[in-house]
Amino acid sequence: MKKILKTIISVVLVLSVLAPFSTCLCADIKGDMNSDGEITLSDVHVIMRLASLMEIPTEEIIEKADMNSNGVITLRDVKAALAKAVDINPSWTLGKITQITPSKKHNSSTKMQFCKVTDYCAETLPSSPVNDRSNPLYSPLPKGTYDYVKSGPVTDSASGNEYYVLGSGRRVYANEVKTFTGYKMPYNNISLRDHIKYDSDSTKIYLALDWRVPFNVTIKPQSYETGYDGREFNVADGEFTGKYMDITFQYTKSAEGKLTFPESDTIKSCKWIVNSENKTATLRIYFREEGEFYGYSAKYNKNNLLVISVKEPVHKLKGRTIEIDPGHGGNQPGAGSGTGVYESDITYKIALKLKAYLENAGAKVIFSRDNSASVPEIEERRINAMKNDADMFISIHLDASVYNTAHGSSVYYYKNYSAPLAKAISKNLPKTLKNDIGYPMTDRGFHFYPFRVVRIENCPAVLVECGFISNTSAVVSPSANAASQATCDFQLLNSSLGQKYVAKGIYKGILEYFDM
């Protein structure tokens, strides 16, 4: 493998000396320096010359060659272009491995009850008590994961949901797994492959497992306090203090392999912690800076390798992908005002205005739904948010109450590394409304709450309650000289001007987060 790597690097270096320097920059593909519609080794050599200061680039050339949109051309841009070059086989370094399954007997003829994750991923919860209170310290299991079934199905009487209790000490929703009888599995061994893939968005680590054992991911250290609705995972003052992520594999007796991360701006180092008594192995990944973590994903590729993708820093909005989720829609209009106006119509209008702000700043925007009669259900939106692998997820909603006097905006998060984004939006939304159009929106704060749509791991994700659609009682006097002329949240949210400045407030919060 190393010999192949040296050969490819040699080819690139030769190209950097001998090939002519092209500056035709008509194509839209970032990294396509000769505008032929694809990235090849010849484009890589151009970026390498720019990175080594062999040429003095214009602003237009920098824009084309700057793969990670950080304003400068470095070796990381060369690596990112190399990873996308069509004349390099992307799988040359990592061959397919064979894994064992409970379907065939290995070293035991003992039969046991198993489950296999059949959904894109399966949410996990504590084994007890049996309720529907999701816990951010329990991470989902990727499709194809096996675990022993300890008991079940068991039912939560309050929600009606059915679960299986697993040998790893967690519960899964019964509809996200398939149960079967199989042979007792041997203890697992893990090998950390001597390979890392860098691109402008993430650092990817590859692990080979004997079989697809369950694992759990936590970001530590972090202190929590009880807050909204008696939930105990509120991050005090929104201060995310994570220094490392632990990936703990069950039923594992050995783990090997070391890696260095000279090119990653997120990962400093990693090490194995093997607990022979509990038969677990933890891959601890240290961050370069405390509180500098922006999400991860974990899934098996076609070669049966577990790929851990850790997001690189996102300190610049330009070039980033933001997914906006306009709440409700289709045959689920959401909350109403009592006047025939519903949440889904207003959230979509706010989302369109937020999209305009973000795109003007150079971001790419994805919508979770359109404005048609048929829209994705909440669980589908959650899964799509993970599949889209955006850099940020914003769900837009309107609050409601049986009391028409309740008013104000609030923001909710699930993962501890989403708290700083929630804090920034919570502050800037009411501030913008007050400063720009004189509307005194009450800041109801930012809180931990396990709304299903934001229970994702791959990026900071928040749900914004932009105000109370049910608030039809005056918040300010009708004679007040407010530029918006709105006297209550409903009037503000139902006006084009109010929607514009709500979107602007969210946008300013996003900007503040990126500047942190």
What distance in Å separates the CA atoms of residue 489 and residue 101, rounded to the nearest whole number? Answer: 57
How far is residue 395 from each of residues 235, 326, 337, 441, measured CA to CA in Å?
20, 6, 20, 19
Q: What DSSP state is assigned to residue 460?
A: -
CB 487 within 8 A of CB 478: yes
Pairing of strands 296-300, 306-311: antiparallel
DSSP secondary structure letters along 204-269? EEEEEESS---EEEEEE---EE--GGG-S-EEGGG-----EEEEEESSEEEEE-----TT-SSEEE
CB 141 within 8 A of CB 115: no
How far is residue 190 from each of residues 34, 142, 282, 361, measured CA to CA in Å?
43, 17, 10, 44
H-run or E-run covering 51: helix 41-51
Q: Cβ of 138: how many Cβ atoms within 10 Å?
A: 18
Pairing of strands 188-198, 234-235: unpaired
What distance in Å separates the CA atoms of residue 169 and residue 154, rounded to the nearest whole number? Answer: 14
Q: How many CA atoms within 13 Å lie on the side-chain side of 357?
A: 20
438-477 b/e (C-beta count within 10 Å ≥ 16 → b): ebebbbbbbbbbbbbbbbbbbbbbbbbbbbbbbbbeebee
Catalytic residue IDs: 465
CA angle 179, 184, 189 (to 5 degrees): 105
